Amino acid sequence: MSQYEKFCYWVDFHILETTKRNLAEKEIQLIDEVRIPCRELRASTEVAYLAPPAWNGFCRRRTSWYRRSAKADEFLIVSNYSFDLPGLENPIILTESGFKPDRIPSPQETPLLIQSEEYQKKKPREWDKPDPLEKDFYQRWFERNRVNEPFDFDRILMSHSANHSNFFDPRFFINLNGSVVPYSISDSIHVCSSCLEFFNILGGQWPVKYVVPCIGAVQFAHLPVDRYFEVRIQTERNHEG
């Protein structure tokens, strides 16, 4: 079985249409994912794209960061292979990794992460207003998979916020060749909207980071639970090297 790998390209509408035509000439269909962004990460999906309305779908609150980001109104192409096509340069590359952090925050440290000024400044207004249906979603999963643990939705939400904050203002990271490499601070149930870190909507300033898929990505993209993925930006320089 080949190693999991995805190549992600942020493009404008013009480049998207040009890419569609170029792929059509090779009899490759570019699938339109309309509602759940992380479904593009399925290994079985050869190549697909997200239009801006997809971020208003099933995970509307959880992906509200997209609408406040520099990527707002851009389109995302995700592929099982890299492209040599006009306008598709410097992809975000996702690969499954064996990374395991030496340390994650204690229950006392987790609330401190969300005090980050940068996080609070960028946080969307709707982020702190979960729908009651979301609680049901997490509780059903928790009760099936964590039978010996009490369900605490407030604790889960705090961990979700702290995890995103760690990609704004890293407190938990490794040093790789002198560079900061932040990582997800918890397991899949305690992180949220991991597509934001996978696709560099959050944490795009870091050339490399390690990201755990959220429960949505486990369920809808069939990514392995609690497994870290390496997310790196391929630039012309490191591609040549």
pLDDT, average across residues 155-182: 96
Are the C-beta atoms of 220 and 39 separated by less than 8 Å? yes
* Whether residue 11 has pLDDT greater than 50: yes
Examine the pLDDT at 57 and tell me if it is beyond 50.
Answer: yes
- Continuous segment of H or E residues that includes residue 50: strand 47-50
pLDDT digits (tens, 9 = 90+) for 102-113: 999 999 999 999
The pLDDT > 90 percentage for the chain reads 85
Give residue 227's pLDDT. 97
- The answer, yes or no, to whether residue 237 has pLDDT greater than 70, is no
How many whole angstroms from its chain centre is CA 52?
16
pLDDT at residue number 223: 97
171 token code pair: 């407190």
Task: Report, as an integer, the average pLDDT of 64-80.
Answer: 96
Say what angle helices 132-145 and 153-168 make with each other, to 10 degrees. 100
Give 100's DSSP letter: -
Longest dimension (CA), the chain: 56
What's the pLDDT at 63? 95
pLDDT, tens digit (0-9, with 9 covering 90-100), for 194-226: 999 999 999 999 999 999 999 999 999 999 999
Mean per-residue pLDDT for 139-145?
Answer: 88
Q: What is the dihedral of CA 137, 140, 146, 152, to 10 degrees?
A: 60
The phi, psi pair for 82, rounded to 5°, reads -80, 160
90: pLDDT strictly greater than 60:
yes
> pLDDT value at position 86?
87
Task: Report, as an integer, the average pLDDT of 60-84.
Answer: 95
Least confident segment among 3-12, 64-73, 136-145 = 136-145
